[in-house]
Amino acid sequence: MSPEIKNFMNRAIGSDIFPYEVIRVVSDKCVEIRRMKHKQTVFPKAFHAGGYRSHCSDNASQEYEYFSDESGEVLKVRYSEKRKAWGNKYEKFRMADKPFYFYDYNF
């Protein structure tokens, strides 16, 4: 069974998440993607003493607008039946209905 292909992919690096758009479907198990630009529209406000510099208790309140980046690098990503995941040699991605960016203010 082939994996479902959606319009976006998100890539987690540690606790941060970066949005990508699917720009071309090569086959049922291979797509080309490009990282999207984003602009933060809602910022967290509740910072408290703790952690490295501070602790953000409303970290999940952040919101963003997303934009295509025509100048961005195009990556080829394949679905691995063995791993049951999208990725390439070094990275893993998740298919998504919407782009999603998340910056963890607690690091």
pLDDT tens digits, residue range 60-83? 788 899 999 999 999 999 999 988
Instruction: Report if residue 28 sits inside a domain.
Output: yes
Instruction: Report if residue 25 sits inside a domain.
Output: yes
Determine whether 94 is exposed, middle or buried from the number of CB atoms within 10 Å of its CB (0-12, 13-18, 19+): middle
Strands 74-80 and 85-87: antiparallel
The pair phi, psi for residue 61, each rounded to 5°, is: -80, -10
Instruction: Report if residue 102 sits inside a domain.
Output: no
Instruction: Report if residue 49 sits inside a domain.
Output: yes
| Domain residue limits at 87 | 8-96
Instruction: Report if residue 45 sits inside a domain.
Output: yes
**How many domains does the structure of the chain reveal?**
1
Instruction: Report if residue 1 sits inside a domain.
Output: no
Instruction: Report if residue 26 sits inside a domain.
Output: yes
Determine whether 19 is exposed, middle or buried from the number of CB atoms within 10 Å of its CB (0-12, 13-18, 19+): buried
Instruction: Report if residue 73 sits inside a domain.
Output: yes
The model's confidence at residue 47, banded by pLDDT at 50, 70 and 90, is low
Residue 51 has pLDDT above 70, yes or no: no
Determine whether 62 is exposed, middle or buried from the number of CB atoms within 10 Å of its CB (0-12, 13-18, 19+): middle
